[in-house]
Every structure is written in C-alpha cells, then in structure tokens.
Chains A and B, each alone.
Chain A
C-alpha cells in the first residue's frame, strides 16, 4: 500500500455502501477514523508502511450501519462518494463522511486480505 511519488497508486479495493442511521439530530455511520496528512503516521497500528498518512478505520460499532455494510477494522479508505481520501487532513476526512445532506456514503476501502485474495485467485488461475 505504499506509494511511489509521481506514480499512480494502485490497490485492490472493495466497494462498501453504508446507509446513515438517524440518531436524534445526527446521522451516524458507526465507525471511527484515524490518520490524515496532519497526523503522526508512526502511531497507526493498522498500516503496513509507517509513513502512510491515509485514513484508516480504527473502530467499528458492533451492529451499526458500517458493521452491517461489511466495513472492517483496519481498512484504509481510498474514496468517499468519489472524493479522494488518500491525501486529506483528518478534519477534511471527517467532514466528507458527515455531510448532513447525504444519506448514503459509498466508500472504496482496501485491506491487505483483499490483496492476498486476488493473488491467491490469480495464482490458482495461473495454475490452471
């Protein structure tokens, strides 16, 4: 998941669609994010490359909308509703996710197991 400056980033992503849940006056998604270009990447427990300043999912409320949609802890969010999340500040990421006039967010997330799954399937394909 590391990037080479100047080269486009490639990753295997999963599309996850989360319906926001209305709780009182707020629309909640049911997970917590960490990271951002203004944060310290060395403290990220989920990233492989400790210089990765992307947005990661740090916690999922069990039974919440994110859990239902299939988001997992440790996922790196690449896009939210078409907006890029690989080079944003923490606050910008939060704002993109919590827009009041949107009821649903479509995330593109990546995780290590996806990468391995593709390699595995490609491997078997090659064997074939």
Chain B
C-alpha cells in the first residue's frame, strides 16, 4: 500500500541521524506547504500517527487507518502526493550529503588557492632577482653600492609584507558564509593580474633580451614589492576599515519570544551583516528557553478547541477532496472559518482573567522560592572558609580543595536550588555537574553567595551555558535580495535555526546636520520677575 511504504520511508529517514534530520526539517519547511497541509489536516481529523513507527508496524497501522476513517484517509493520503514526498526526501538526502561534503571541499579549495597565491606573491621578487644570476651570469653587470642598498630595502619590505599578510589574512576562520566574499575575491583577482602582468613584462623585456643592467632589474623588483604593499593597504581599507563607520541601524527580533535588540552596522553585505548579528546574538540575547513558551501555546490550543463546526446540510465538512470538488471544499472551509471567528468574538471569554491570576500566582511562587534559595545559599557559604597560610602548617588534616569543598556544601542548597529552577523552568539548562563546577569556581575566586546565584536568577546569554545548550551553530540566511548585495534601508532578512528565527530589519541612520551657537559666559544674567497680588 502506498500508505505503508511512504510512512515507512518517512520514519526510516527521520530515525537515521540527527544531522540529516535537521537538514531535512529545514528544507522540508522551505519546500513544502501543500503536503504539509494535508498532513496537518489529517492529524486534526484522525489523531494518529506519530513519526516513529517501525517498519513492521506500519502494515498493522495501515490496516487500522483503513478500518476507522476509511472515507477520509484515502482521499487525503493519495498515492501521488505521498509518493512524491518520499522521492523528494531521497533527493534531499543526497543533496544534503553533497552540500555538506561540498562545503568542506570549498573551504579547503579556497585555502589552497590562498596559499598558492601567497607563495606566488612572495617568491616573485626573489625570482626576479635570482634568475639573471642563473641564466646569464657572465653578461651581468656587477652590483654596486646603490644596488646592494636596494637589496636591503627589498628584504625589509618583504618582511613587512609577510607580517602584514599574516596579521590580516592568517586568522582562524570564524564562519562559513554561503556565498564567496566578494571583496576578497576581487582582491585576489587583482593581485593575480598584477603579478601576471609583471611576469609578462619581465619575461618579454628582460628574460628574452637578457638585459645586463642589474640595477634596473633590482629596481623593478623593488617597485613590485612597493606595489604589493599598496595593494595590502587597499585590502585593509576594503576589508576592515570601510565597515567601521556606522551607517545602518538594524533591529533584531527573535521570533519565539520577541526579544529585540538594536545594533549599529556599517556598509556590509547581507551575509557579513548576518555574521555580525549572530556574533552579537550569542552575547546579548538571553538563552532561548522553549519551556517558557508552552503557556501561550496551550492558551492558543484552548481557543481553537473551544468551538466545533457542524455542517447540518449533510455534506462532508473537512475532507480536502481533489478534483472538481476542491472549490466547493475551499468555499466551505472559508465560510467555516469566518463563522468560527464570529462566534469566538461573541462568546464571553474569561481566559484573560485566568491569565492574570495565574501570572500573579506564579510571580508569588517564584519570589517565595527565591527567598528560600537565597537564605539556603548564604547559610551554605558560611560553612566553609578559606584556610590561611599559618593554619596550613598547623592542621593538615581535613583540608579540601575547591572541588571537594563544593561537593561538601552542595547538598544543603541543592533542594532549594532545584525547586527554584523548576519553578522558573530552567532546570534543563543546568546539570548538577555544571552547578557543582560553578560552585567550585565561585569558592576559588572568593565570590559571595549573591555572585554565585546571579547566573541562576537571571537567564544569561547563550554562551554562558554548556556547549550542548548552544543548540544552533548551523544558521540559514533567508533573504529576498542576494546575500552578497549590500545592506540597504528597509532590507529584511531572516536568520533561521532549528528552534527559532531572528528577524532582522535595517534602517539607515539619518544624515545629521549640526550647527553651532556661541554663548558668551558673561551673558548669564537674571532678574526677579515676581509680581504677586495678595487680597486682604
């Protein structure tokens, strides 16, 4: 049966590996709306399959589906749509594999290109100087004082160039961007053209004609090194200096809970701006906590579940039939949703009341737990004290290192801390091991109980937590404009990761017209301006 095969295909694929699962989810979101709709509708009306049936089960499950909701299932789950789903899946798997392999290849490819270019650039002046000695040593004029002075200049300029290139380009790559970095590519092409043209000139005018004027050749090599230094200056200006002056103000909003920050960026391409924003995200935004969003989701579900639509005229309401019946079903769905909206507006909804009291109660509970926690931690910290130098010689017994001290005082505060974390829904961010490590760290550095507690009372930036809470290091840039084009006023793009996305809008910082006004310091004079009138 088609149902069985596609379900098995889907489940097998989802169980395979976390990496490809994530890829699949992402691209599934991107590519699919139609089949997703059919799947979600099916889950509303049928209430069945989770995404993990084994291969053996699906046969039985197919039978069950057929028995219970025969009329609706066969129309929703047709051979063509589900079949194309599984094919798409396979295509996507291979594409993802290629992509991941392709990305690594690309990084090594660019690196080898850069190394080759660098070697070419450095060895060229040396080659210019050495080749005449190798090819026509007898004819060559001997090198006088000025010429040898030029040797020193070439040597030092090459050394400076080497240090400058090392400082600018030999830094660990901090990100892999989707498209090539336009300025770098342009600069590489420029350098290549430049060096090639110098070689051409050298080959034609010097090698072929076997010029004897060695000083001229040395000066030629010096001019090459000078020009390379100037190209390096151009590289600094284009790559580093140009985007320092702030030009755009970008507003970054997280889609799940609405956290917003504003940053000032210079003239950057969209992908470089996205990289800067992600780096700011990791240190400015509080960590994404999916447990805090469950309340609003349950409220939304309650809103939907409150009303049910019955069509008393006798037709099947919710089956998305194909073919000619489609328009009728669509029209029916429209009128149903409008009816639902009208009914929801009219009914007296007391959910706002519940929300208000629930939030007040939650606040009270959190404050109570926090008070207990603070007292417990302060008491725990009084149990240990740092041992002084003199005492060390006196009583070597029962001396603990920070880790043991942390383990000794941890149990007295563990319960209060765990209750507090449960109430604020942070318990999955902190493992017991990490708490003990943090406690040992605080004890070592003479921090007060308040300093120890600060990382638990306030949700900190993502990097503060352990690596497995960093969740996303794989970001997708979704943009209507090309990602190598520059930021413009009003450009909008999305940075999507697995759990949430960051919506970024940019605005141009306005041109500021400033004028001056001079005030003479002696012009500050005052008089009484009272004019009271009293009635007697």
Contact = CB atoms under 8 A, between A and B. Distances in A.
A33 to B, nearest CB: 6
A59 B533 contact: yes
B535 interface: yes
Interface residues of B, number: 10
Contact of A40 (B527, B533, B536): B527
B531 interface: yes
Contacts, number: 40
A31 B535 contact: yes
A92 B478 CA distance: 79
Contacts of B530: 38-40
Interface of A: 28-29, 31-34, 36, 38-40, 43, 58-59, 61, 90, 94, 97-98
Contact of B536 (A28, A38, A39, A43): A28
24 contacts: A28-B535, A28-B536, A29-B536, A31-B535, A32-B533, A32-B535, A33-B533, A33-B534, A34-B531, A34-B532, A36-B532, A39-B528, A39-B530, A39-B531, A39-B532, A40-B527, A40-B530, A40-B531, A58-B533, A59-B533, A59-B535, A61-B535, A90-B532, A94-B534
Contacts of B536: 28-29, 31-33, 94, 97-98
B531 A38 contact: no
Contacts of B532: 34, 36, 39, 90
Nearest to B527: A40
B535 A40 contact: no
Contacts of B528: 38-40
8 pairs of A and B residues whose beta carbons are closest in the complex:
A32-B535, A97-B536, A34-B533, A43-B531, A94-B534, A29-B536, A32-B533, A98-B536
Interface in B326-364: none
B529 interface: yes
Contacts of A59: 533, 535
B233 to A, nearest CB: 68
Contacts of B531: 34, 39-40, 43
A29 B536 CA distance: 6
Q: Quick one: which of B527, B528, B529, B532 has the most chain A CB within 10 A?
A: B532
A25 to B, nearest CB: 15
Find the residue from B534, B535, B536 having the highest chain A CB count within 10 A: B536
A61 B535 CA distance: 10
B52 to A, nearest CB: 89
A45 to B, nearest CB: 10
Nearest to B534: A94
A39 B531 CA distance: 6
A32 B535 CA distance: 4
A114 B97 CA distance: 112
Nearest to B533: A34
Interface in B508-536: 527-536
Contacts of A31: 535-536
Interface in B64-110: none
A13 to B, nearest CB: 19
Contacts of B534: 32-34, 90, 94
Contacts of B527: 40
Given A31-B536, A39-B531, A43-B531, 7 more contacts: A32-B533, A34-B533, A40-B527, A40-B528, A59-B535, A94-B534, A98-B536
A34 B533 CA distance: 5
A85 B99 CA distance: 100
A90 B528 CA distance: 14
Contacts of A94: 534, 536
Contacts of A43: 531
B535 to A, nearest CB: 4
A81 to B, nearest CB: 13
Interface in B197-215: none
Nearest to B532: A90
A32 B534 CA distance: 5
A28 B531 CA distance: 22
Nearest to A96: B536
A62 B531 CA distance: 23
A36 B533 CA distance: 10
Contacts of B533: 32-34, 58-59
